[in-house]
Amino acid sequence: MKKTVTIIIGTRPEALKLLPLFLAIKSSKSLVPILISTGQHREMVHQVFKFFKVKPDYDLDLMSENQTLAGLTSKIFSELDQLLARLNPDLVVVQGDTTTTWVAAMLGFFRGIKVAHIEAGLRSNDRSNPFPEEVNRRMVSLVSDINFTPTTKSTEHLKKEGFSNIFQVGNTIVDALEFAKEIVTQERAKYKAKFEGIFQRGKKIVLITCHRRENIASIQYVIKALRLIAMRHQHIHFVFPVHPSPNIKSAVEKGLGQIQNIFLLSPLPYDELIFLLSEAYLVLTDSGGIQEEAPSFGVPLLILRKVTERSEAVESGYALIAGVTTNSIVDTFNQVVEHPKVYENLVAQSNPFGDGKASKRILEVLENQF
């Protein structure tokens, strides 16, 4: 009899990293996947569902305007618990460190359902950065029965903390990236035409993303830095897909909307974002996913955070932590852009986070374990 595997998704990064696994499990002769969306980031998640041409089996649609962590957590606990009680699966699969991830893992633990944690073992050792993700991820580790780590460092973290049943498989974001790269490569002319106003002769492209909860308090410093950088480097076009969070969106539009060489865009479908990443000269981001994607294109990365739990990015030499103060961002950007050797040293030769085969490895482990 086939075993039932519930794959639980709340945010866009979770969708990107779990849908390749969902598609892999659909081909299994011993496992049946059930796809559940909590709707933590409803609109952005549905972009990813559309890209992968899948629909969730259950959509809890729990997103609300200006939702608080406590309110969101309460709703997911209540609604998802009722669904898991009806489904009674053999395994709960969660990814990363979101509120959805933590709640789903705890519910699996409460109900005696085995929990598999994808992208386990990342640590920043600063519970405020990223917030609340660092604490979420550590709590998920406490209740996980199977730990799938992306890198040697994440494996070492879990072993040091006394956890077992660890399988180092790489990061599933590289699986999604390889899928998107093929589409973008085949249809490059179409994507370039869509962004025609951005691509002008001789203009370099710098891609910017900034959305993390812990950066809301620092967003004005980030905006001031971007304004100073853009005015100093008129030969560069800065492309900023703006997160829909009201705290981010209104501040960015007010602070950067009138600067000629800064292009503010609505949130992009994954394939369009990957196209811009593939064309970028440099990336400024606080995104964990982009830290894992940029090296596949050899694009240097400046991290808009105080610390990163993906330390492989910095240790591999293709990323620098720019911080979240105006001076640190401006100084780091100018150092890289105005000194060719510094820039050249940041061009990645390979991706330390994976080879695009993580989902296949995870499926093999799950089939063996069940």
User: Catalytic pick from 137, 211, 212, 361?
Assistant: 211
Output the CA–CA distances (angstroms, integers) from residue 30 to 3, 36, 61, 174, 370, in the order listed. Answer: 6, 20, 30, 25, 8
Residue 211: active-site member: yes
Selecting among 145, 213, 331, 355, the annotated active-site residue is: 213
Q: Which residue has the tokens 């590289």?
A: 174
- Residue written as token pair 């994954």: 270
Residue 253, CA distances (Å) to 201, 220, 337 in order:
26, 11, 25
Please, are residues 337 and 282 in contact by the beta-carbon 8 Å criterion?
yes
Task: Determine whether 213 is an active site residue.
Answer: yes
Find residue 265's DSSP bridge partners.
241
Helix, strand or coil, per DSSP, at residue 313: helix
Euclidean distance between CA atoms 353 and 157, whole angstroms: 16
Identify the DSSP state of 92.
E
Q: Count the neighbouring beta carbons within 10 Å of the beta carbon of residue 65.
A: 5
Does the active-site annotation cover 119? yes
Nearest 5°: phi and psi at 39? 80, 25
Catalytic, out of 12, 227, 243, 310: 243
Token pair 């997911």: residue:
76
Sort 202 into a burial class: Cβ within 10 Å, 0-12 / 13-18 / 19+.
exposed
Residue 14 annotated to the active site: no
Q: Which of 14, 133, 134, 312 is catalytic?
A: 133
At residue 201, the 3 state secondary structure works out as coil
Compute how many other C-beta atoms are within 10 angstroms of the C-beta atom of residue 207: 24
Among 14, 41, 42, 119, the active-site one is 119
What distance lies between CA 336 and its chain's CA centroid?
A: 24
Whether the Cβ atoms of residue 338 and residue 367 lie closer than 8 Å to each other = no
d(CA 184, CA 293): 14
Catalytic residues: 97, 119, 133, 211, 213, 243
